[in-house]
Structure 1
Amino acid sequence: LRTVDYLRRAVESDPLLGLRIKGMGVLTSDIIRQYGISGPAARASGLDIDIRKDEPYSLYSNLNFSVPVRSEGDIYARLLIRIEEIFESASIVGACLTMLKRVNSPLFTQLDKMPKGEGIGRTESPEGEFFHYIRTRGGNVPFRHKVRPPSYMISPVVEKIFKYCGIENYPLILISLDPAYSYFSGLIAEVGNFENPTEISESGFSDSTKKKSKYFVPGRK
């Protein structure tokens, strides 16, 4: 953590770095809300949202941690948010290790037989909100588990950010948004107009066929 603290002070005090990343790649809070963006990108634009705080699951309701928030919405803000979250993550890990000393039961949960049906849920990841859809057939494991990753929500706004930035700034902006390209390996996006819904060809939703579905994206009809 001493190294992380050194990096934080360097980022905050280096004038040349500030000139390079301050005011660059700005995401406004309106765009964040329109496209349903979450995680560090949202918190760097002034939105105090975190599933672990807003809808606590697992042990998060028993943990005391802060959610870093800034208002600039640029590369600089997103960088500092991620640095601050390293300290919060270390605090969470330390609290969990302390709690483990009082645990006398196995550290895994055996799933009982689940009723047949379907359900949805949300969890917080380093990149933001993971949206889960699960379908069961009555066993103790899901029959289908589909995940909408946070990077899926970020991809449509990249065009909006790049519109007013030179091509030499593209790598810095992309890195600051931290998109996980592996999430898109099973998706083919037919993107024509970013203002209209995007159709996704998805595989694996049906046993023997490929179905086209429209993913819900906040702000789109």
Structure 2
Amino acid sequence: MPYTIPIGPYHPALEEPYKINITCQGENVQDVDIAIGFNFRSIELLAQRRNYIQDIPLVERVCGICSGVHTMTFCMAAEAIAGIELPARAGYIRVIVAELERLHSHLLWCGVAAELIGFQTMFMELFALRETVMDVLEAISGNRVNYAMNCIGGVNRDVKDPESILSAVRKIKQGVEKVAIPIFTTDATVKARTAGVGVLTRADALAYGTVGPTARASGLELDLRCDLPYAAYGELGVNRIVQTDGDVRARVVVRALEMLESIRLIEKALQTLPSGPIRIADRFPVIPAGEATARAEAPRGEVFYYIASDGSDVPQRVKIRTPTYANMPSVRAMSKGQHLADMPLIQASIDPCYSCTDR
């Protein structure tokens, strides 16, 4: 007889406030039902009661791990309404910070995945590398988490010593190549624990509207850095990292290889950093009446912002869609027919952020 197991909203196997009701027949999962909305943070509503300058640090708090991409995308939407052209140097600095943030996010997720697999030593190695990435972000911005780097029309801080940042990034590269890539791509234990588990077919990935590494691990060649280049991605060029198996291992491998691609982009941006201003001359530009959308490739996938302006200093409407909100329903397709014991790893394989979802 089928029975239902609730995991969450607060549970050792699920450390964020959402809930999965799992219907099982014996140890086999027949279906899952996902519930969200246990927290209400009201960020969109608050953004419509504050001015544009105040909104930048507000949207930075949508997510602690990918805070920079939220401020960048918000500023991109405001810049589109105002017709602001981003200075070239600012575009390169936005890429450097965005790719460091992607590196930080992927290392954190890979560490969590290693712990769920039962690879505690790997977890410690990866989190040590993550600390180094956060040190680099602190060297650039002064902050380890919320960087306060982006403003409407550019960035707030310059990269004054590219060579020292480049040296630190190359040390991170050595660690990723020595530790993360070999373990996640060749280790027999990791393969046994992840291969064939939580398969999301290409058709299901498309039907569920998945984005980011979750989509790319199922063979969908979706990457906004390539499809709709922004900042300096058009000049730097991005290599898509795609796998076709669609299982947990494919999602692990995509993120592991994307770390090397992020490092390559950071190195190239630092080596070719153009001279010039880091922001427009008007520090407080007027946003005229109008509306615009902006999209950026966050570590977990597409971040979407919509801003409507009535010409005042307070936006009339701010709408945010985060990648976890897009990827979350696909856990249902991944879970059917799987073992109950694999559910913590399967749901974690989309790298869920319910801070973003309950924005």
Instruction: Bin the TM-score by the shorter chain.
Output: 0.7 to 0.9
Q: Which residue of 2 aligns with 1:104?
A: 276
Question: Within 2, Cα distance between the matches of 1:46 and 1:40?
Answer: 10
Question: Within 1, Cα distance between the matches of 2:262 and 2:293?
Answer: 26
The question of 1:35 aligning with 2:195 is answered: no
The question of 1:71 aligning with 2:244 is answered: yes
Question: Within 1, Cα distance between the matches of 2:314 and 2:239?
Answer: 34
- Could you tell me which runs of 5 or more consecutive residues in structure 2 were left unpaired when the two chains were aligned: 1-172
Question: Within 2, Cα distance between the matches of 1:37 and 1:13?
Answer: 27
Question: Within 2, Cα distance between the matches of 1:49 and 1:111?
Answer: 35
Q: Among all aligned residue pairs of Structure 1 and Structure 2, give the percentage whose two residues are the same amino acid.
A: 36
- Count of residues paired in the alignment: 184
The question of 1:129 aligning with 2:302 is answered: yes
The question of 1:89 aligning with 2:275 is answered: no
The question of 1:56 aligning with 2:226 is answered: no
The question of 1:184 aligning with 2:357 is answered: yes
- Contact kept, 8 Å, 1:123 with 1:130, in 2: the verdict is yes
- Contact kept, 8 Å, 2:308 with 2:317, in 1: the verdict is yes
Q: Compare 44-53 and 110-119 and name the one that shifted more.
A: 110-119
Q: Once the two structures are superposed, what CA deviation does each residue of 1:175-200 show, in whole Å capped at 9, x if it has no partner? A: 221011102224xxxxxxxxxxxxxx
- Contact kept, 8 Å, 1:65 with 1:91, in 2: the verdict is no
* More relative contact order, 1 or 2 (CA 8 Å, 6+ apart): 2
Q: Which residue of 2 aligns with 1:197?
A: none
The question of 1:171 aligning with 2:344 is answered: yes
Shift of residue 44 of structure 1? 0.7
**Greater fraction of residues in helix:** 2
TM-score by length of 1: 0.77
Q: Which residue of 2 aligns with 1:3?
A: 175
- Could you tell me which runs of 5 or more consecutive residues in structure 1 were left unpaired when the two chains were aligned: 187-221
Letter in 1 for 2:355: S
Q: Which residue of 2 aligns with 1:25?
A: 198
Question: Within 2, Cα distance between the matches of 1:148 and 1:10?
Answer: 33
Question: Within 1, Cα distance between the matches of 2:338 and 2:319?
Answer: 35
Deviation above 4 Å: which 4+ runs of structure 1?
none
Shift of residue 111 of structure 1? 5.8
TM-score by length of 2: 0.48
